[in-house]
Amino acid sequence: MTAQWENIASNRPSASPLSVRVYQGADLPKAPPLVLYLRGGAFLDSAPEANERPVARALADTGAVVVEADYSSPSHNAFPEALELAFSALSCLNSRRKTYGSAKSLLLVVGEEAGGNVAAGVALKARDLIPGELSGQILLSPMIDPRMATVSFREADRIGMRQRWSDGWSRYLSMVGNFAHPYAALCQCTRLAGLAPALVLTADNDPLRDEAIAYATRLKKAGVPVTQHSFPASSGWTGIYSDESGDWLDPLCSQFKSFVENLKH
């Protein structure tokens, strides 16, 4: 069945309902992983899409229950509202594990590109406010560094993303002080210990490769268990910034399943 958008009550007092859609595969295990999924869009795309997101559908087909939350349109892609909405969605899933999965379901947050930034921020906030509840974070080419000055970022012009990412960062960090906020610009965060285990994925020709790898390295140095993988340039990974299609979808699912299995042990 195709996932449809629906509203659920927020855990925040007096807050508006959250807009989500739930992806499930045909066969669910007794305790399926429960995934909060945050899409990309360079902090510019706001309207919820009618079509399913291929990454969310693919993860659901591995046996997970994937809940996509619309953090973009109500927040206008601005910090801190976008992060607060995403964290509210995670809190809702945490309190309703039996509704969507089971009491023993692992709780994960998955984000790609701009959604990867928000997912990483959600993991930080979860450590600080609901310690021990988040089982893992999966970051797919997360936007980590608003300075956009890494060696790999030179590839951004080639795939037509430099100006888009620049405009997106300007929108997300609309107030000057946000540039130094550790929940917003993760490259500024110096307190990473105690975070949920991370799976960080990128590709050899990905403009966001260097910042993703740098963040994974800093997580490791802080004692966070990290699984890191870079897909070959031939995988078509940079399609994640447009139509989310490519030969990397199946390997992504393999990485996801392996990561989840490791979390169980």
Q: Distance (Å, rounded) from C-alpha 36 to C-alpha 106?
A: 11
Residue 261, helix vs strand vs coil = helix
Does residue 13 carry a pLDDT above 70?
A: no
Task: Give the percent of the chain with pLDDT over 90.
Answer: 78
pLDDT (average), residues 151-164: 95
In the chain the domains, ranked by start, together with CATH numbers, are: 5-264 (3.40.50.1820)
Per-residue model confidence (pLDDT) at position 168? 96
pLDDT of 237 strictly over 70: yes
pTM recorded for the entire structure: 0.95
Provide the H-helix boundaries in the chain.
54-60, 72-75, 81-95, 97-100, 114-129, 162-172, 209-221, 249-264
pLDDT bin (cut points 50, 70, 90) of residue 1 is low
DSSP state for residue 19 in the 8-state scheme = E
- Which residues contact residue 150 at a Cβ distance below 8 angstroms, ignoring those fewer than 6 apart? 209, 210, 211, 214
Q: What is the predicted pLDDT for the residue at 14?
A: 61
What are the Cα distances from residue 185, in Å, to 61, 98, 101, 213?
A: 32, 34, 32, 15
What pLDDT score was predicted for residue 46? 78
Phi, psi of 73 (to 5 degrees): -65, -40
For 208-233, the pLDDT digits (tens) are 999 999 999 999 999 999 999 999 99
Q: Is the pLDDT of residue 248 over 70?
A: yes
**114, amino acid identity:** A
**What pLDDT, on a 0 to 100 scale, did the predictor assign at position 170?**
94
Average pLDDT over residues 169-181: 85
DSSP secondary structure of 31-92: S--EEEEE--STTT--SPPSSPPHHHHHHHTTT-EEEEE--HHHHTT-TTHHHHHHHHHHHH
User: What is the b/e burial string over 179-207, where b = at least 16 CB atoms within 10 angstroms of the residue's CB?
Assistant: eebebbbbeebeebeebbbbbbbbbebbb
Region 104-115 average pLDDT: 97
Q: What is the pLDDT of residue 172?
A: 95
